[in-house]
Structure 1
Amino acid sequence: MALIFYAEDDALMGELVQATLMDAGHAVGVLGDGEDALRALRRRKPNLAIVDMSMPQMGGCELIKIVRRDPDLYDIPILVLTARRSKEDEEIARQAGANGYLRKPFEPERLVSMVNQLLEWAEKRSAPKPPEERTV
């Protein structure tokens, strides 16, 4: 089970994603905009953040850039889940620091798969390395 924060201003989409990921065994908090999400990230660091690109107050790209510059948050994996469909939008999100990009509407199985892949990648990345054997 992973703790996931989802920044999304559409309540129905928030409920759909939350239910999908909770059914997959994760704990999911939904936050209504980028500013709320940033406050929540600073209070309790999740295993993964999912952000929409278009939100009031602070959009997804701005949130990602702030997270990537924060020494306490920079290593949180971030998945963008957005209705923006162009390759240019995806490139902008990736340049800001997104680790994954999924377009709405989405297949629930695809969302769960991407979330699990990002969580696995983050776990492998942060796993301590075994001590090196030394010969005397």
Structure 2
Amino acid sequence: MARIIYVEDDELVGALVQQVLTDAGHLIGVIGHGTLAYETIAFKKPDLVILDRGLPGMQGVDILSALRRLPGLYLTPILMLTAKGGEDAVEEAMEAGANDYLVKPFEPEELVRRVDEVLKNNLFRRE
């Protein structure tokens, strides 16, 4: 079980991801505003962060870059989950420090597999 913060401004998508990951055994909170999410992540220090790109306040890639500069959070795994596909978008996120990138729409099983994989890889990296 991991503590996850999902940053998503679309309430329906947020509820879907929350249900899928809760069913997979994780604790997940959804935050719909980028700046509030950044502050919450910095305070709560979750096991995993899932970020959308387009958000009110701070954009997802900006949150990602800022988190990578914070001591105590720079190793926190971050999965981008966004509707923006394309090589440039993926490359930008990976260069900013994302551990993985998944494009919406997605299959729930694929999301669970990616979350579990990112968490597992992060565990090995910290040991």
Q: Shorter-chain-normalised TM-score: which range?
A: over 0.9
- How far is 1:93 from its partner? 0.7
- How far is 1:126 from its partner? 1.3
- How far is 1:72 from its partner? 2.1
Structure 2 counterpart of 1:80: 80
Structure 2 counterpart of 1:130: none
Gaps of at least 5 residues in structure 2 are: none
- How far is 1:37 from its partner? 1.2
- The two structures have a TM-score, normalised by structure 2, of 0.97
2: CA distance between counterparts of 1:43 and 1:53?
A: 21
2: CA distance between counterparts of 1:14 and 1:58?
A: 17
Structure 2 counterpart of 1:32: 32
Q: Which amino acid aligns with 1:79?
A: L
2: CA distance between counterparts of 1:85 and 1:44?
A: 29
Q: Does the 8 A contact of 2:82 with 2:104 survive in 1?
A: yes
Tell me the percent identity: 47
Q: Does the 8 A contact of 2:42 with 2:67 survive in 1?
A: no
Gaps of at least 5 residues in structure 1 are: 128-136
Q: Which amino acid aligns with 1:4?
A: I
- How far is 1:100 from its partner? 0.3
Runs of 4 or more, structure 1, over 3 Å off, are none
Structure ID, larger Rg = 1
Give the number of equivalent residue pairs.
127
CA deviations on 1:18-55 (whole Å, 9 max, x unpaired) are 00000000000101122111111122111100000010
Structure 2 counterpart of 1:14: 14
- The two structures have a TM-score, normalised by structure 1, of 0.91
Q: Which amino acid aligns with 2:12?
A: L
Structure 2 counterpart of 1:5: 5
